């Protein structure tokens, strides 16, 4: 298996753990993945909800907590540590500033078109990787950077329709999928070629969404991906920073439990169904006490529920007043194991898939 090279930043394994909010992937999970040679990612959204008094000083709490989690991850690992920041949050600039001040290895940016190249402090080597759902969006961002800044971001994550959390597709597109992740990856690899030639670089295309096993990983890398980004798979690990109740919810889930909701972020969200989800889907509204304006797109006066509170409640184990985000393959989780065991299992499956593919090729040639 090849190493992953993101603009000169090398990870031993082409496996990135997706940033998961709210407070699902913090320093515990990120450092464990980094220690195994992958890229561990801290999710910045709502990270300050862990701080006492966050309701009164939310943005300040977010800054304190992000810095603290990055430093804790660095203490626990010499590996590659990243931060995930959504453009849809109102303190995007502050979160970006903290991540750059802490010189994190890489920042993944989703939920918006990442057109503005950040100011980079001196001595900072952070790499930038936007997340998109189509080759078209990748082309828009990369061509804009090429024309305006004479450079391009260091890599791109392509997330398909099967992902957990907010998904960059309309609900009807998710119910009637037009393009598979394979197709989107291949189109994005092609879209990056002229830019790779122009700048004489390699732009890694990283695939995400519904990649759970090493077999999935092998298939998507055969389609041209340089690496995979997995969220759901890492939830049911010992080191994942959520409550045990959240993890048990994954273990209990069947394929029928995995469903879609309309989120105040303005995108559909994939979740595990429970009574809270059923009430939202039935059109019920929950009392919203907006502790702060965390999302650019959420109008708390009309929002049917507060997604920040719902996700945080679930992460802390209160599934009566919240729900778990989860990818379409969350029902495959059977037990909770360490990150080391999880990555070993993925690698073993990958090797098996590769061996089977070689056998198949030999049979065809005979
Ligand atoms: C529990 C959970 C929370 C997530 N939270 C975020 C988030 O806050 N921001 C974000 O950009 N992506 C978020 N994601 C998406 C992941 O970073 C990753 O792209 C996705 O999980 C990949 O699909 P998979 O779950 O099928 O592996 C979340 C996913 C899950 C499962
Ligand atoms: S109501 Fe909306 S903006 Fe206010 S905290 Fe909740 S999700 Fe954030």
More confident site: 54 or 19 = 19
Pairing of strands 156-159, 127-132: parallel
Q: Model's pTM, two decimal places?
A: 0.96
Q: Any idea which ligand is nearest the CA of 331? A: 1
Write out the E strands in 172-225.
205-208
Strand 205-208 and strand 227-230: the pairing is parallel
CA dist 288 and 53 (Å) reads 19
pLDDT for residue 360 is more than 80: no
DSSP for 314-334? HHTT-GGG---B--TTGGG--
Please give the distance of CA 337 from its chain centroid, rounded to a whole number: 20
Q: Given this model, what pLDDT does residue 1 score?
A: 81
Q: How far is the CA of 290 from the centre of ligand 2 (A)?
A: 5
Rounded CA gap, 205 and 183, in Å?
13
CA distances from 69 to 44, 92, 247, 309 (A): 9, 17, 21, 20
At 78-127, the pLDDT tens digits run 999 999 999 999 999 999 999 999 999 999 999 889 999 999 888 899 99
Dump pLDDT digits (tens) for 322-341. Answer: 999 999 999 999 999 999 99
CB of 83 closer than 6 angstroms to any ligand 1 atom: no
Ligand number, closest to the Cα atom of 233: 1
- Judge if the beta carbon of residue 209 lies within 6 A of ligand 1: yes
Residue 128 Cα distances to 59, 72, 103, 116, 269, angstroms: 23, 22, 12, 11, 25
Q: What is the pLDDT of residue 6?
A: 98
CA dihedral 329, 332, 336, 342 (to 10 degrees): -80
Q: For residue 136, how many other CB atoms are within 10 A of its CB?
A: 12
Q: Within a 10 A sphere around the Cβ of 283, how many other Cβ atoms? A: 7
Give the per-residue pLDDT at 100. 96
Q: Which amino acid residue places its CA nearest to atom 8 of ligand 2?
A: 294
pLDDT at 111: 82
Residue 153 beta carbon below 6 angstroms from any ligand 1 atom = no
Nearest of 92, 82, 105 to residue 18 by alpha carbon = 82
**pLDDT, tens digit, 9 for 90 and up, residues 152-201:** 999 999 999 999 888 877 877 777 667 899 999 999 999 999 999 999 99
Q: Which residues of 176-187 are buried (b: 16+ CB within 10 A; e: fewer)?
A: eeeebbbebbbb
Distance 200 CA to ligand 1 centre (A): 32
Return the CATH number of the domain spanning residue range 4-241.
3.20.20.70
How confident is the model at residue 66, as a pLDDT? 98
CA 262 – CA 275 distance, rounded (Å): 16
* pLDDT for residue 19 is more than 70: yes
**Which ligand 2 atom is the nearest neighbour of the CA of 293?**
3
What is the mean predicted confidence (pLDDT) over 344-354? 96
């Amino acid at each position: 298996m090849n190493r992953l090279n993101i603009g000169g930043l090398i990870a031993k394994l082409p496996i990135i753990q997706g940033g998961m909010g709210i407070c699902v992937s913090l320093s515990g999970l990120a450092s464990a993945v980094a220690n195994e040679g992958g890229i561990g990612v801290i999710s910045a959204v709502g990270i300050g909800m862990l701080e006492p008094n966050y309701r009164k000083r939310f943005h300040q709490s977010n800054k304190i907590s992000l810095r603290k989690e990055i430093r804790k991850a660095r203490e626990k690992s010499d590996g590659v540590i990243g931060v995930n920041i959504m453009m849809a949050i109102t303190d995007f600039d502050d979160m970006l500033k903290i991540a750059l001040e802490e010189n994190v290895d890489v920042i993944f940016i989703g939920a918006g078109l990442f057109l503005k190249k950040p100011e980079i402090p001196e001595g900072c080597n952070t790499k930038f990787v936007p997340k998109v759902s189509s080759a078209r969006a990748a082309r828009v961002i990369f061509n804009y950077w090429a024309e305006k800044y004479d450079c391009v971001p260091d890599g791109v994550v392509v997330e398909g329709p099967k992902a957990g959390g907010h998904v960059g597709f309309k609900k009807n597109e998710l119910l009637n999928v037009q393009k598979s992740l394979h197709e989107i990856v291949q189109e994005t690899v092609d879209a990056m070629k002229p830019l790779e030639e122009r700048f004489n670089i390699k732009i890694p295309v990283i695939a995400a969404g519904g990649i759970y096993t090493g077999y999935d990983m092998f298939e998507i890398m055969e389609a041209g991906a340089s690496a995979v980004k997995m969220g759901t798979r890492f939830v049911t690990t010992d080191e994942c920073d959520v409550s045990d109740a959240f993890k048990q919810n994954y273990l209990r889930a069947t394929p029928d439990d995995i469903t879609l909701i309309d989120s105040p972020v303005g995108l559909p969200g994939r979740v595990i169904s429970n009574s809270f989800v059923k009430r939202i889907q039935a059109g019920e509204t929950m009392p919203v006490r907006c502790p702060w304006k965390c999302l650019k797109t959420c109008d708390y006066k009309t929002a049917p529920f507060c997604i920040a509170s719902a996700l945080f409640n679930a992460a802390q184990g209160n599934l009566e007043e919240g729900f778990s985000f989860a990818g379409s393959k969350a029902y495959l989780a059977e037990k909770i194991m360490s990150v080391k065991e999880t990555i070993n299992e993925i690698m073993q499956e990958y090797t098996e898939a590769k061996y089977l593919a070689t056998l198949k090729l030999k049979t065809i040639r005979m």
